[in-house]
Amino acid sequence: MLDRSHQNSISTLQNISTDSSPLAKNSSTIFTPTLQTTWLDKISAFYSKNNLENNIYDSVTNLPRYVRVVSFPCKFLSTGPLTRPLTLSATCCKNKKLQDELLHLAALLEKELDCSVTPSKIILGLLRISNGSAKIKNTTPYRSGQIIGIDLSSAITALSLQICPNDHILDLCCAPGGKLLLASDILAGFGVPSINSYGSITGVDISSHRLSTCKNLIKKSNSLGKIRIRLFLEDGTKFNTMPPDDQWWDYTYHKNANKKRKRSDPSLTPHVTSKLNSVPLCKMPWYSSKLLRLPCLLTSKHKSLVLLKKTPLYDKVLVDAECTHDGSLVHLTKYISNSTNAKLDNDFLSDHRADSVANLQFNLLLNGWNSLKPDGILIYSTCSLSYKQNEEVIARFLSYMNSKNSNLIRKFYQATSYNTKKISENHIFSIEYPTIEPLDQIENFSKDLLAVSPLQLEHINFALLNVTNSDLASLRKCIRLDPRVSDTSGMFISKIRKNVF
Ligand SMILES: C[S@@+](CC[C@H](N)C(=O)[O-])C[C@H]1O[C@@H](n2cnc3c(N)ncnc32)[C@H](O)[C@@H]1O
């Protein structure tokens, strides 16, 4: 079992509050001593209750921050599981021009920030800034839009989706949008949507002010003119809008929202008009990029062709679920800074909150799963390290799915009008990895997982074993990015593929 010493927890956190870490700096300027002691107690108790070791934040003073070079084809630097640390020369980008640009930006940032800046050894296109409290907003590359802040853990999460050309991607908890922007830049890198390339990004979030931030980031992003992207202000547990079929399709939503007059547009062929009339209008997006609003990209011949290529489910789904943020120092600091004592009690640390957030996560995961097409990949992630919000959610999901019989699964596919020819008894789900452990051993193997090194984490991307009928042992391959060893803030990531046999 993990060490649950409440007393040690408190002293560890009190040490943090008196050292030079960002948490300590923020907390000492923002909190009255009483409030500070109170939240230290509460967080300490939270760790104890959640079977977490109490020295998770010991290394926070050394935690670096990362930026992404927006014009870069962001990708993992290795194509296989890593067993040893890579040297920088082994991680260099093969394209000399890109490599020079990366090194030039690193040198510029190093000079302006007065600390070491080096290319990430895990992801091409990320720069590692050794000083975690460095303010990038005042730097020349940030002001000229060449770089954007993103944590290594978030980049690993988004890249684990293995985005391909033409993918329809759903991000069920998208705001403020770091992972969505990375996904859209990757998709934009494949080229402007055309008859042969028609991928899209759909972001959903329940918070309007967070979604506004996301919209503003999208509007500033380089890839805006090159991707079909839309946002919905909705509850991700209920969201059921399908991917856009073509530019004109969404254009029609917009026009029809006024008077439905496009359905009788004389410029459309009767075939296309009848197709359009046969499908129900979907809900209007809260925001959609011009490529979805303007009908001019495809010729009418192409329009009818694309309509026939209807894709009713998403190729990739990201459920970066709402959580207690306890794995991320940055989030924790922000949250605590904006919280009153009562809010900490009610929203963050109470047992009630822990239970309700786990239920929310399960329902988000389930709805994400229902929106995923066969052979698609779903990533479930949180920036919490508590087992309740991670392994236990995945375990509950697996056990729920296992309890479903194939008739129900068939009904689901029929309801979502996926190509029924492909439906068979063998449509099953699995996590990407073989299974060995029963549920009651979760705690033990979680302890092992806490010790993983960042380079082993590459396994989530490359050690893909499509196993049948997985059960709880697959949880072994869920990964935890532990701030003490991973060179990034805490994150839990699980990758699930919907198998088709
Ligand atoms: C961890 S944050 C997501 C971070 C985001 N993926 C990113 O990379 O910037 C969780 C988000 O879930 C949203 N959320 C909470 N409950 C939700 C729900 N029922 N449906 C959709 N979004 C929800 C919150 O508003 C919050 O923006």
Mean pLDDT score of the chain: 67
Kindly give the distance from the C-alpha atom of residue 236 to the centroid of ligand 1, in angstroms, as a whole number.
Answer: 9
Cα 333 to Cα 21: distance, rounded to the nearest angstrom: 11
* pLDDT exceeds cutoff 60 at 10: no
Which of 93, 214, 323, 383 is the catalytic position? 383
Kindly give the distance from the C-alpha atom of residue 205 to the centroid of ligand 1, in angstroms, as a whole number.
Answer: 6
Least confident stretch, 89-93, 143-147, 207-211, 276-280: 89-93
User: Does ligand 1 come within 6 angstroms of the Cβ of 174?
Assistant: yes
User: Does ligand 1 come within 6 angstroms of the Cβ of 367?
Assistant: no
* pLDDT exceeds cutoff 70 at 97: yes
SS3 category, 431: strand
Cα 222 to Cα 393: distance, rounded to the nearest angstrom: 36
Cα 418 to Cα 16: distance, rounded to the nearest angstrom: 53
- DSSP category for residue 262: G
State pLDDT tens for residues 263-278.
455 665 666 555 555 5
Mutational test site, ligand 1, from 150, 153, 173, 353, max ligand atoms within 8 Å of CB = 173
Written as six digits, the tokens of 340 are 């009153």
User: Does ligand 1 come within 6 angstroms of the Cβ of 320?
Assistant: yes
The sign of the torsion formed by the CA atoms of 481, 319, 150, 168 equals: positive
Name the burial class of residue 471, with classes exposed (0-12), middle (13-18) and buried (19+) by CB atoms within 10 angstroms of its CB.
Answer: buried
In ligand 1, which atom is closest to the CA atom of 171? 6
Hey, which residues does 148 pair with through a beta bridge? 68
* pLDDT exceeds cutoff 80 at 52: no
Residue 248's alpha-carbon distances to 228, 287, 303, in angstroms, are: 11, 16, 7
- Give the highest mean pLDDT range of 95-99, 179-183, 219-223: 179-183
* pLDDT exceeds cutoff 50 at 164: yes
Kindly give the distance from the C-alpha atom of residue 211 to the centroid of ligand 1, in angstroms, as a whole number.
Answer: 9
Give 474-489 as a 3 state SS string: HHHHCEEECCCCCCCC
SS3 category, 205: strand
ipTM for the whole complex: 1.00
Whose C-alpha lies nearest to ligand 1, atom 10?
A: 322
Alpha helices in 221-269 (DSSP H): 247-258
Whose C-alpha lies nearest to ligand 1, atom 2?
A: 322
Least confident stretch, 96-105, 268-277, 336-345, 439-448: 439-448
Residue with tokens 């007065």: 114
Kindly give the distance from the C-alpha atom of residue 232 to the centroid of ligand 1, in angstroms, as a whole number.
Answer: 12
User: Does ligand 1 come within 6 angstroms of the Cβ of 175?
Assistant: yes
- Exposure letters 386-411 (e unless 16+ CB within 10 A, then b): bbbbbbbbbbbbbeebeeeeeeebee
State pLDDT tens for residues 185-211.
999 888 766 655 578 999 999 999 999
What mean pLDDT do residues 440-447 have? 31
Active site residue 383: yes
- DSSP category for residue 20: S
Written as six digits, the tokens of 37 are 């002691």
What mean pLDDT do residues 212-240 have? 90
What mean pLDDT do residues 293-299 have? 46
In ligand 1, which atom is closest to the CA atom of 207? 25
Mutational test site, ligand 1, from 240, 318, 322, 359, max ligand atoms within 8 Å of CB = 322
Annotated binding site for S-adenosyl-L-methionine: 173-179, 205, 235, 320
pLDDT confidence tier of residue 496, bands split at 50, 70 and 90: confident
Q: Tell me what percent of the residues of the chain surpass a pLDDT of 70.
A: 52
Cα 101 to Cα 173: distance, rounded to the nearest angstrom: 33
The sign of the torsion formed by the CA atoms of 434, 438, 439, 444 equals: negative
What is the reported pLDDT for 234? 92
